[in-house]
Chain A
């Protein structure tokens, strides 16, 4: 296991590369998901939807 982590002496480089990759892809995923959720909230927010019998209700979206 220790040998695996040491990567034949290149540990700093290999793990930095893989770590940065995971970080950037993860950040992209998080930002994309967050933007999507924000957009969902915005279309539901403040838009009073009318109940068929005329009673206004505001639905909140998860």
Chain B
């Protein structure tokens, strides 16, 4: 009974706004702390790789970015679907907040992948790397969503139309990923080194896990900040916002 009621409260803009405001500092501080620990672990503590030497350390910024890029899309699509099915405007606000953050992390994954690829393959881009190509497609899907949403003057219509696109995208992402994966195995030369630490030991893995956790907290903070701005913009003129303007944010 308590959980159902809490979910209902989440759909109320003032409640979510205040909850977001309270969570934000904790998320921000813990994100920074874990980022510091993870970066130190990745750059200093982790032993150099047998094959890739110190170059493999890029994994600590590449893999978490790729993971967040994908996770953010799922969050965005799920929120958009909730907003569409149950007509919860706040859910659309969450999707709108997650999109640019997810796109940024996907962009980072592509760029760090390219920088990693240059010493490993000799080129900045390698079409035969299925994961990188899948990430490129994901980046295009993000851009499409953001562009479609911004093409509508009516914000509610933009929310709902882009929600359909988000769901279509999320359903297609696994299909696209497996097709690209399969396609790359056809064309992969024997000398292509994959963007991986081939034999990953615990002292290499630990900073990676910490960085993934750090990035997740970072993502949460970024989405919450944007969500707060979205809520205020969408709820302008309502009584609770005017009261907030008088009292100041909690």
Contact = CB atoms under 8 A, between A and B. Distances in A.
A contact face: mostly helix, strand, loop, or mixed: helix
Interface string B43-73: 1100010000111011001100100000000
B108 interface: yes
Nearest to A23: B108
A29 B222 contact: yes
The interface residues of chain B, by DSSP majority, are classed as helix
A20 B76 CA distance: 24
B222 A14 contact: no
B84 interface: no
Contacts of B54: 7-10, 14
Nearest to B111: A20
Q: What range describes how many residues of A lie at the interface?
A: 20 to 34
B222 A18 contact: no
Determine which residue in B101, B236, B246 has the highest number of CB atoms from chain A within 10 A of its CB, and name it.
Answer: B246
Contact of A49 (B43, B108, B229, B246): B246
Contacts of B57: 7, 10, 14
A17 B232 contact: no
Contacts of A21: 61, 65, 108, 112
A8 B44 CA distance: 13
B142 interface: no
Nearest to B44: A4
B249 A17 contact: no
A36 B225 contact: yes
A23 B44 CA distance: 21
B157 interface: no
A13 B58 contact: yes
A20 B61 CA distance: 10
Given A4-B44, A7-B54, A49-B246, A24 B226 contact: no
A25 to B, nearest CB: 6
B241 A43 contact: yes
